[in-house]
Amino acid sequence: MPARSLPTILVVDDEPHSVASMRMALEDDFAVLEARSADEAWRLMEEHWVQVVISDQRMPGRSGIELLTEIRDRWPETVRIIVTGYTETGDMIDAINEAGIYQFITKPWHPDQLLMAARNAARLFELARDHERMTLEMHYLSSTANAKLEDRRRLLQEGLGFDKILRGPNSSLNPVIALARQYASFDVPVLITGEAGTGKTDLARAMHYGSLRADRPFYELNCAGLGDDVLAAELFGIRKGAIPGVPATRIGLLQKADRGTLFLNGVDTLSPAMQMALLRLAREGAFQPVGGHETLSSGARLLVGAHRDLRDLVGDGAFRGDLYFALAVTELQLPPLRARPGDISRLAERFVHDAAARHGKPVRGISAAALEFLEHYDWPGNLPELANEVVRMLILAQGVTLGPELISRHILQSEPGDDGADRRAMDLGTMDGTLKDRVEMMEMRILRETMTRLKWNKSRAAGELGLSRVGLRAKLDRYGIEPHAAYAEEG
């Protein structure tokens, strides 16, 4: 293939050997540009048509996050990937929110992992270009463009719509999805409530791509933890000179999402002043940029999410009643993960295969014994907690099948039950019964966790617990603890 037909990728790292390694991994599929600093990267961006940028996070001067944020503002169509040695979830979420990062890759990375991420990013760039071209054609070729647009909507609905929300045939989520499908086509506000981590953003995104606005942008903003100044700037935009250090006018999400959808999560945390501004927006579609005197209008559809019941907050005087009724024209209540035991195995398998692809680690799946433990835990952290547990198991796994010995101790020690495990399993203060009853309950849970973690090797378990093999066998018989069918007892 001629070199000029290859997509162009820019790799940015201040360490020469890292740049050389990335070039070796990518040069057969890409025209590779190299930069040793953020300033050099910016110059190359101005001189070349770059589809993908891969930047290291830690560099002298501007960091990778700062560079990719500036690239997003100047060249928003360029797909951005960051390479980092940090794996803290909070840091990654901050990076994604701040710079619009498509994917992050942790060090040390594998060449195949880097190449797969770059190929996917280049494909995403091409799909975005195709989408823009189809949107332009609609203005000039009415019938043909409308047909293409319908095809595009269908593809988006298949890839990002309700079918993307994984669940079983008897899931308690199914009635919620059925209602959401009906609400999606009507241009009215929708209030989505549920515990943190139950998938409110995914449901809002599915409603957008299931609506007639599917070809327009979808934006989401979590209001929790944001001060009024930051929230107003993000939503309404900033006029030039209104804030020190902001030299140019910056448009807000309400203008970016015009004729699209804006999902505001965490509205239960809004201050009285922001509630008043949101009420005006919900009623009139009107708002004022920070530092501006003109009134602007937005054609964005509002979907909102709340972790708490807004009706209770209205009763307590913490939330405006008129705003509640303006936002809750229709309402959806997402069940927590503990109310979806039949979905946990599907979700866990999806999470593990996604994580395996992301980290370049081969995996076959999760064993039946491990899934049984996961299904009987009640997941107070909901979907993020399950996803984190599965990633942890994948990291620790030595084979291609993830067994129960990899599961965290607090999950293994939780008491199984028909409605999920007791999340307070290790809190003796919450248990009922005599001291003897409570001690026996803890002993039973520790025995079950230890035997599972050590794959029912009685010699190792007896040694770890300070018991003889005869004593261990007596305790197992006393509590009726038996190995899962997947394990053959080891001598």
Residue 233 belongs to domain with CATH number: 3.40.50.300
Domain boundary among 300, 335, 370: 335
Residues 307 and 424 in one domain: no
pLDDT at 217 over 80: yes
The residue assigned the tokens 């970016």 is: 256
Q: How confident is the model at residue 302 (pLDDT cuts 50, 70, 90)?
A: very high
413 and 307 in a common domain: no
Instruction: List beta partners, residue 264.
Output: 221, 304
pLDDT of residue 454: 67
pLDDT in tens, 105-137: 888 889 999 999 999 989 988 888 877 777 666
Q: Which residue has the tokens 């899931």?
A: 171
Burial class (CB in 10 A: 0-12, 13-18, 19+), 244: exposed
Which region among 76-80, 233-237, 473-477 has the lowest average model confidence (pLDDT)? 473-477
Q: Give residue 86's pLDDT band: very low, low, confident or very high (50, 70, 90).
A: low
Q: What is the pLDDT of residue 424?
A: 37
Q: Is the pLDDT of residue 421 over 50?
A: no
pLDDT value, residue 242: 66
**Which residues make Cβ contacts (< 8 Å) with residue 172, sequence separation at least 6?**
335, 339, 340
Between CA 321 and CA 332, with CA 327 as vertex, the angle to 5 degrees is 110
pLDDT in tens, 1-15: 344 578 999 999 999
Taking 80 as the threshold, does the pLDDT of residue 234 lie above it?
yes
325 and 404 share a domain?
no
Kindly indicate the confidence band of residue 84, based on its pLDDT and cuts at 50, 70 and 90: confident
Mean pLDDT computed over every residue of the chain? 81
pLDDT score for 216? 86
**Which residue is associated with the tokens 């599965």?**
390
Q: Is there a single domain that holds both residue 440 and residue 404?
A: yes
Query: 329 exposed, middle or buried (CB, 10 Å; 0-12, 13-18, 19+)?
Result: middle
Say if residue 193 is in the same domain as residue 65.
no
What is the number of other CB atoms lying within 10 angstroms of the CB of residue 104? 21
What integer is the mean pLDDT of 331-345?
90
| Same domain as 303, residue 207 | yes
- Identify the H or E element spanning 474: helix 469-479
Based on the fold, state whether residues 168 and 314 are members of the same structural domain.
Answer: yes
Of the pLDDT bands very low, low, confident and very high (cuts 50, 70, 90), residue 26 is very high
pLDDT at position 303: 94
The Cβ-side half-sphere exposure at 403, using a 13 Å CA radius, reads 14
By residue range, what is the domain housing residue 422? 338-479
Q: Which candidate, 77, 81, 42, places its Cα nearest to that of 62? A: 42
Place of tokens 């599917």: 214
Q: Classify residue 310: in a domain, yes or no.
A: yes
Give a yes or no: residue 269 inside a domain: yes
Residue from 213, 207, 214, 202 nearest 184 by CA: 207
User: 36: closest CA among 81, 67, 8, 7?
Assistant: 67
Max avg pLDDT among 42-46, 72-76, 295-299, 430-434: 42-46
First to last CA, the chain: 61
- Pair of tokens at residue 317: 């005087």
Looking at the fold, whether 329 and 429 belong to one and the same domain comes out as no
Question: Residue 140: inside a domain, yes or no?
Answer: no
**In-domain check, residue 221:** yes
Question: 87: pLDDT confidence band, cut at 50, 70 and 90?
Answer: low
Quick check: pTM over 0.75? no
Tell me what pLDDT residue 51 has: 92
- What's the pLDDT tens digit per position in 182-193? 998 888 999 999
Nearest of 81, 106, 63 to residue 26 by alpha carbon: 81
Q: Is residue 398 located within the same domain as residue 324?
A: no
C-alpha angle with apex 388: 384 to 391, nearest 5 degrees? 140
Residue 148 in domain: no
On whether residue 282 sits in a domain, the answer given is: yes
CB atoms within 10 A of CB 108: 8
Beta-bridge partner residues of 332: 192
Last residue of a domain, one of 286, 319, 335: 335
Residues with Cβ within 8 Å of 360's Cβ and at least 6 positions away in sequence, in order, are: 109, 110, 112, 113, 116
CATH number of the domain bearing residue 38: 3.40.50.2300
Give the residue with greater pLDDT, 454 vs 294.
Answer: 294
Shared domain check, 191 and 113: no
Is there a single domain that holds both residue 308 and residue 386? Answer: no
- Adjacent-strand bridge partners of 261: 218, 301
| Contact (CB, 8 A) for 100 and 353 | no
CATH number of the domain encompassing residue 377: 1.10.8.60
**Residue 255 within any structural domain of the chain:** yes
Residue 409 CB neighbour total at 10 angstroms = 14
Both tokens assigned to 457? 């090797």
pLDDT at 106: 83
CA–CA separation, 337 vs 423, rounded Å?
13
The contacts of residue 241 (CB under 8 Å, 6+ apart) are 247, 291
* Same domain, residue pair 230 and 347: no
Percent of the chain with pLDDT over 90: 30
- For residues 323 and 279, the answer to whether their CB atoms sit within 8 Å is yes
264 is a domain residue: yes
Given 314, 335, 356, which residue is the final one in a domain?
Answer: 335
The structural domain count of the chain equals 3
The one-character DSSP state at 86 is -
Query: What is the full DSSP assignment across 202-236?
Result: HHHHHHHHTSTTTTS-EEEEE-TT--HHHHHHHHH
Mean pLDDT of 261-285: 91
Tell me what the mean pLDDT of segment 452-469 comes to: 73
